[in-house]
Structure 1
Amino acid sequence: MADANKGWGELPERCLGRILRHLPCLLDHAAFADVCKRWRTIAGRNPPPMQPWLLKPSTAATSFFCVACERNHQGPRMPDYARGARVCGSFPGGWVAVADIPTIGGPASPGNRSPALLNLCNGERVGLPRSLRDNNPRVTNINLVHTVILSDDPSDSIGPYCAAAIVSGKPNIVFWRPGMSYWTPPMLKWDAPMKKWKKLLPKDPIEDVKYFVASALGVGFHVLTSNEDILVYAPSTNDKPRELTMSSVETYKVRRNRHPTMPEPGEVVARYLTQSRGKMLMVVRYVSAERTTMAFDVFRLERQPPSWSWKKLAPEALTSLTIFLVQGSSVAVHSLLDESERKPFPLSIYFLHDPVRFDDAGTSQSPQIENPFPCSDAGRCRLFDQNIVHCLPREPPSDCSPWSWFFLPPNNAVRHLYSVEVIRELL
């Protein structure tokens, strides 16, 4: 038996590396790393793909679902003071945005609640304001925060990070940075009057917002409209922490050629932005007459002088890629297999129940804010044949928040946390 164990422990690193590439689940990877010191070292050199987990909030207990192994896991817990809050954003590093929790240090009253950023892995908390300064001049409360988007991980940010939020009403997009006690519309000058900043707002409903540090259109918050145009808001990195202005606001008219004899497969219900290998992608989601998801298309932003266009990509151009869709936080994850070992697999798109209702306030996303939150129209689409499989949990519906994706931080502390979880699941 000792010789047998020694044989396993001394398997060539190349063989062990190949085994690890077939263990995309973090818990399986953690179990492998716990075998011995040598295997732990090799596991550290072969990290699993950073696929997000499905975050299922509940007033009882938040749980997680891993798409790699299709199992539920007990992950980081939601703080008691935030249990039952609506999740309105998720970001790398274990961060989520919640819409309405008790304000830090304030009385426990219904009126003393505001949005916040929470790190479920290390317990950090950053309060966000609920008021808007619109330079009318006046300060008003924001009725509804749809989605929060961050420019950087608050834990690892070297410079000043900032946030954008899709909100109800005018303005339909607002911005914030640490040190500010309110959100502000996009302004090129801090004291700009209302008529000035209104000209900087998207004229069409907002479909999605994503912050890109490397894109053909520049660095900043990229706003995708229902007309498939792009606005880029570039926050100014000035030395005034209580102010936030834009160094530039650019609008790009982007078109795609629709074939007159090939109608779209259904009604467009949502559009998402993500990025793959430095290229901006737009994913279009279609629903049937029964309002269930039936197909997807993927487009790449391309320059066709003198303008920009969305080029529809063939499924074979997107192999070895998995896209996870959610407003504000969609990601494209590539296979980590070596080129010599890679066997291309078709693009898969994971989607969540994401009903959209257009309104007159300039925001296409009017999310449900009362329970129960349905989860039946969620799953995976294989793009080459538009085969949709409902492989994600469908019941029970959430009693407090839509489901979202959760992005684990890639560090030793988190791997240790899930090593403990592996032991619990084996008991």
Structure 2
Amino acid sequence: MAWAELPEECVAGILHHLLCLPDYSMFAGVCTRWRTIATRHLPPMQPWLFMPSTTATSFFCIPCERTHQGPRLPDNARGARFCGTFLECWVAAAEIPYDEPLPWNRFPALLNLRTGERVLLPRHLRTNNPGSTAINRIQTLVLSDSPSQTYRYWVAAIVSGKPNLMFWSNNMNEWAPPMLKWDSGFKIWQKMLPKDPIEDVKYFYGGPLGGGFYVLNNKEDLLVYTPKADDEHGELTMSSVKKFEVRRNPRSTMPGPGEVLGRYLVESQGDLAMVVRFVSTEKATVAFDVFKLELEPLSWKKITLDAFTDRRIFLVRGFSMVVEMRNPCLPSIYFLDDSARIDGAGASTSQAQQVQGPFPCGDTGRCCEQGIVRCLPREPPSDSSPWTWFYLPQNDGLREWYEMHVFKQQE
């Protein structure tokens, strides 16, 4: 039998062992029939490790543990500090120059590294008093959906100082504070801000406590900010802002000696979970605890990592992701260096520090049954930005990605 005539189930069986995207693309480039079968058996969307720098940006592949050349950064984004990541190759930059590279021409932006699309974000916050003010240093940008010109989406920003949280929607000229009504007054707005340091923010369409931006603080309480969907462009208010006091059930003890470095929100099969990260006195990650949100009574219930069998958790502030694997595998938590924090109300610990660079990247790896495995790159420190995850395109976008890699290999 000719290779091109192999039954589809045989070809699909081979594909199930090809989790590295370039390998997959080369397989799909053998012939038209294999390409057609490949598009019907897409690999699990495991993110690449995005390692930006001012000189050469590279991407590390988890399945094959090799570094690949990914999409080229736009010239004006080279050396930018990236502060967010999202599906379909979208990343967020804290500042990029617009037109001329002058200090007053730098804006936060959303960039699609596959298509080249760019969405510039405002530099100012609209308030009732004094009316408009410059925003503080952006720590993390969180999206409700992929940027689009055809539907409305929202962006939340964790910033240093006060305010520590603000929102934006497409076609708005300024950031907006969390307000129920614009005529509520400045003091009402201040009361709606998180009072405790923010650990993580994540958007849920149908979360267990309703849809909206879930804000996790260092007391492990949740605040849910729900943007008003029918507000006119240019104005953004909340339909509701709710705070939920959540306690651990039962309360766990911290591995000692050590301390909590960070807390992350993740969603898996409809459940909301919190991942708590512990570091040693030497500031190296030593353990993780995972908690599932229980509604009655409202509490964080500790669960074992076995609850995520055949799933992998990729941690990053603003968009941690659970990937369901196609083949049986041990549950794992992949983590990046989170030792560098930014001063201000949005920071997680009192030991946070203002970081200009280089950005440390030595505390990376995977947590599994064997403990902490240092399977990710750890050096050298980045001169421009913390490392983050890069989420590959799906469906039609993935087919285009295949072709791009095949053409590169054939050149």
Query: Is the TM value for this pair above 0.5?
Result: yes
Shift of the alpha carbon at 1:276?
A: 0.3
- Secondary structure at the aligned position of 2:232 is classed as coil
Q: Scaled by the length of structure 2, what TM-score is found?
A: 0.94
State the alpha-carbon separation in 1 of the partners of residues 115 and 246 from structure 2: 41
- Secondary structure at the aligned position of 2:179 is classed as coil
Shift of the alpha carbon at 1:257?
A: 3.2
CA change 1:17–1:290 in 2 (3 A) is same
Whether contact under 8 Å (1:164, 1:175) holds in the other structure is: yes
Shift of the alpha carbon at 1:368?
A: 5.2
1:163 aligned to which of 140, 155, 160: 155
2:345 aligned to which of 354, 361, 385: 361
The one-letter amino acid paired with 2:315 is L
1:415 is the counterpart of 2:399: yes
Structure 2 residue aligned with 1:191: 183
Structure 2 residue aligned with 1:55: 50
Whether contact under 8 Å (1:270, 1:356) holds in the other structure is: no
State the alpha-carbon separation in 2 of the partners of residues 119 and 362 from structure 1: 26
Report 1:18-417 matches (<5 A). 18-103=13-98, 105=99, 107-155=100-148, 159-258=151-250, 262-265=253-256, 266-305=258-297, 308-337=298-327, 343=328, 345-355=329-339, 357=341, 361-364=345-348, 369-382=355-368, 384-385=369-370, 387-417=371-401
State the alpha-carbon separation in 2 of the partners of residues 229 and 358 from structure 1: 21
Shift of the alpha carbon at 1:424?
A: 4.2
CA change 1:318–1:412 in 2 (3 A) is closer
Whether contact under 8 Å (1:283, 1:297) holds in the other structure is: yes
Runs of 4+ in 1 over 6 A off after TM superposition: none
1:270-317 residue CA offsets vs partner (Å, 9 max, x unmatched): 000010001001111000000000001111111124xx1111112322
State the alpha-carbon separation in 2 of the partners of residues 61 and 360 from structure 1: 31
- Secondary structure at the aligned position of 1:191 is classed as helix
Shift of the alpha carbon at 1:374?
A: 1.3
**CA RMSD in angstroms, aligned pairs only:** 2.0
The one-letter amino acid paired with 2:280 is S
1:209-234 residue CA offsets vs partner (Å, 9 max, x unmatched): 00011211111000001000111100
Whether contact under 8 Å (2:249, 2:302) holds in the other structure is: no
Shift of the alpha carbon at 1:182?
A: 1.4
CA change 1:46–1:402 in 2 (3 A) is same
State the alpha-carbon separation in 1 of the partners of residues 231 and 224 from structure 2: 22
1:35-54 residue CA offsets vs partner (Å, 9 max, x unmatched): 11111111111101011111
Whether contact under 8 Å (1:205, 1:358) holds in the other structure is: no
State the alpha-carbon separation in 2 of the partners of residues 199 and 422 from structure 1: 55
State the alpha-carbon separation in 1 of the partners of residues 324 and 290 from structure 2: 16
State the alpha-carbon separation in 1 of the partners of residues 325 and 233 from structure 2: 40
State the alpha-carbon separation in 1 of the partners of residues 366 and 378 from structure 2: 13
- Where does the alignment leave 5 or more consecutive residues of structure 2 unmatched? none
Shift of the alpha carbon at 1:108?
A: 3.1
Whether contact under 8 Å (2:366, 2:373) holds in the other structure is: yes
Structure 2 residue aligned with 1:340: none
1:12-49 residue CA offsets vs partner (Å, 9 max, x unmatched): 22222122111111111111111111111111111010
Q: Scaled by the length of structure 1, what TM-score is found?
A: 0.91
How many residue pairs match? The answer is 408
The one-letter amino acid paired with 2:206 is A
The one-letter amino acid paired with 2:35 is R
Shift of the alpha carbon at 1:239?
A: 4.2
Whether contact under 8 Å (1:176, 1:184) holds in the other structure is: yes
